[in-house]
């Protein structure tokens, strides 16, 4: 038993020594490490520099201070940034920010204004030749951008020309009198499907001057407003209605020469006592206002083409000129002139030569006229073969009439007394 006690004592002491040594070793680093291990996150170099000391005694503190910073900074960002885009909202954020959807543009062009036949162009500023006008334009829809999606629901998924041709638009025309400013309020609207539009402008005022604009919309996208003609808005694009007819020269007809008083006609070459003669003709002008012009030539003189007398302007009908002339032989011609200055051709009173007298003015009292007895035309109340005053102007004297009657009776009696 003593041996057993001795061996146990021998074993106990070394064990105790070891325990004491371990206890001493454990207390020694505890007092110094708290200051060094307190700021592990902020001061990462301290653990590294003092690595030899903890490496031997405190392995757990080393792993806890180094591992957390590495895993906490790298793992969370990697998992949060990659997972959400992939699972929840990956596509929308990426495409909207990098490639925007295409924008739709509608344009109108090739504006035309046509007459009611839909074919004949109304030249800018000209008449529509009818109560209506037809305006046309081309419509085009285009897209810009390469992204997918669209801001315009009307944009065809297939963005080809044939697809665009199937788009339905509303086309708006503002057509107002040129004297009024454009307000942007359409006056005419039409719905069309395709790449061109034709709008009939009704309700126009005859004779009114108009200017017009057009724009188109598919309900979401609207084109710019385009003004017809490229001319100032103060200029007229077209006039409603028919142009006034081109002025035509008046027509003259039925010339006549009359004794004073205007009721007793003077035959061609007839003589008239006195100095007054009535010259008449019928006027007919498209403007209903014209006058009679007369040129008189004396004793075989040539015509100059300058009117001697001009009547006042009047409506269509007979015009009269009262000419007061020297005694002698007179030829005359006439023409009509309208208010715009257009004239008819000169018209001779008769078909005799211009140098032959159309009438002769003679002095009252017999034989006074230079050619009072030179004309033996068909009988006429104004013609007096004896050179006695004719009927013109009531120039008869009772004595002359009695003398003429006496001569006539004597001539008849002589004729009857003939065997």
Contacting positions for Ca ion (CB under 5 A): 211, 228-229, 231, 237, 247, 285-287, 338
Q: How far is the CB of 174 from Ca ion (least distance, A)?
A: 11
CB 326 within 8 A of CB 298: yes
Q: How far is the CB of 172 from Ca ion (least distance, A)?
A: 16
Q: How far is the CB of 213 from Ca ion (least distance, A)?
A: 8
Q: How far is the CB of 140 from Ca ion (least distance, A)?
A: 21
Closest CA to 330 of 350, 305, 306: 350
Closer Cβ to Ca ion, 333 or 337, answer by number? 337
Closer Cβ to Ca ion, 287 or 365, answer by number? 287
What is the rounded CA–CA span in Å between residue 138 and residue 282?
57
Give 189's strand partners: 172
Q: How far is the CB of 333 from Ca ion (least distance, A)?
A: 20
Closer Cβ to Ca ion, 228 or 258, answer by number? 228
Give 216's strand partners: 171
3-class DSSP assignment, residue 253:
strand
* Rg of the chain, C-alpha, whole Å: 62
**Widest pairwise Cα distance in the chain:** 235
CB 285 within 8 A of CB 294: no
Closer Cβ to Ca ion, 48 or 231, answer by number? 231
Q: How far is the CB of 290 from Ca ion (least distance, A)?
A: 7
Closer Cβ to Ca ion, 43 or 233, answer by number? 233
**Cβ contacts of 235 within 8 Å, gap of 6 or more:** 124, 125, 178, 211, 229
Q: Which helix (H) or strand (E) holds 70?
A: helix 59-87
Residue linked to tokens 């009509």? 336
Q: How far is the CB of 125 from Ca ion (least distance, A)?
A: 9
Closest CA to 315 of 286, 280, 278, 344: 286
Q: What is the 3-state secondary structure (H, E, C) of 298-367?
A: ECCCCCCCCCCEECCCECCEEEEEEEECCCEEEEEEEEEEECCCCECCCEECCCCCCCCCCEEEECCCCC
Q: How far is the CB of 121 from Ca ion (least distance, A)?
A: 15
What is the rounded CA–CA span in Å between residue 95 and residue 92?
6
- Token duo for residue 243: 């142009």
Q: How far is the CB of 229 from Ca ion (least distance, A)?
A: 3
Closer Cβ to Ca ion, 289 or 299, answer by number? 289
Q: How far is the CB of 107 from Ca ion (least distance, A)?
A: 18
What is the rounded CA–CA span in Å between residue 324 and residue 276?
5
Strand 238-239 relative to strand 126-127: parallel, antiparallel, unpaired? Answer: parallel
Closer Cβ to Ca ion, 50 or 288, answer by number? 288
Closest CA to 169 of 111, 110, 216: 216
Q: How far is the CB of 111 from Ca ion (least distance, A)?
A: 9
Closer Cβ to Ca ion, 116 or 236, answer by number? 236
CB 347 within 8 A of CB 293: no
Closer Cβ to Ca ion, 218 or 285, answer by number? 285
Q: What phi and psi values does residue 414 have, to the nearest 5 degrees?
A: -65, -40
What is the rounded CA–CA span in Å between residue 174 and residue 156?
28
């Amino acid at each position: 038993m003593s041996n057993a006690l001795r061996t146990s004592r021998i074993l106990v002491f070394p064990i105790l020594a070891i325990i004491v040594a371990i206890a001493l070793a454990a207390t020694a680093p505890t007092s110094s490490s708290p200051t060094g291990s307190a700021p592990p996150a902020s001061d990462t170099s301290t653990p590294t520099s003092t690595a030899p000391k903890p490496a031997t005694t405190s392995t757990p503190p080393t792993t806890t201070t180094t591992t957390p910073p590495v895993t906490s900074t790298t793992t969370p960002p990697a998992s949060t940034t990659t997972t959400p885009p992939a699972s929840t909202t990956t596509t929308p954020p990426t495409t909207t920010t990098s490639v925007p959807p295409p924008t739709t543009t509608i344009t109108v062009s090739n504006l035309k204004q046509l007459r009611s036949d839909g074919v004949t162009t109304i030249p800018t500023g000209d008449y529509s030749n009818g109560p209506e006008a037809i305006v046309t334009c081309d419509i085009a829809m285009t897209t810009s951008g390469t992204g997918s999606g669209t801001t315009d629901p009307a944009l065809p998924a297939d963005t080809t020309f044939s697809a665009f041709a199937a788009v339905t638009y509303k086309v708006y025309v503002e057509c107002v009198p040129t004297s009024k400013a454009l307000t942007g309020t359409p006056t005419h609207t039409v719905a069309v499907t395709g790449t061109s539009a034709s709008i009939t402008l009704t309700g126009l005022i005859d004779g009114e001057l108009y200017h017009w604009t057009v724009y188109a919309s598919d309900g979401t996208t609207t084109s710019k407003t385009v003004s017809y003609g490229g001319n100032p808005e103060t200029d007229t694009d077209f006039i409603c209605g028919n142009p006034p007819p081109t002025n035509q020269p008046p027509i003259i007809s039925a010339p006549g020469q009359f004794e004073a008083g205007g009721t007793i006609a003077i035959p061609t070459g007839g003589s008239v006592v006195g100095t007054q003669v009535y010259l008449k003709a019928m006027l007919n002008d498209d403007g209903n206002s014209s006058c009679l012009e007369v040129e008189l030539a004396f004793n075989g003189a040539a015509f100059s083409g300058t009117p001697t007398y001009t009547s006042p302007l009047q409506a269509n009908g007979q015009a009269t000129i009262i000419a007061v002339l020297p005694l002698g032989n007179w030829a005359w011609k006439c023409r009509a002139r309208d208010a715009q200055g257009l004239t008819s051709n000169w018209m001779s009173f008769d078909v005799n030569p211009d140098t032959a007298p159309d009438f002769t003015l003679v002095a009252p009292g017999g034989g006074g006229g230079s050619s009072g007895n030179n004309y033996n035309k068909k009988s006429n109340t104004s013609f007096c073969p004896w050179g006695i005053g004719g009927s013109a102007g009531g120039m008869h004297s009772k004595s002359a009439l009695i003398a003429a009657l006496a001569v006539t009776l004597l001539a008849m009696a002589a004729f009857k007394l003939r065997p």
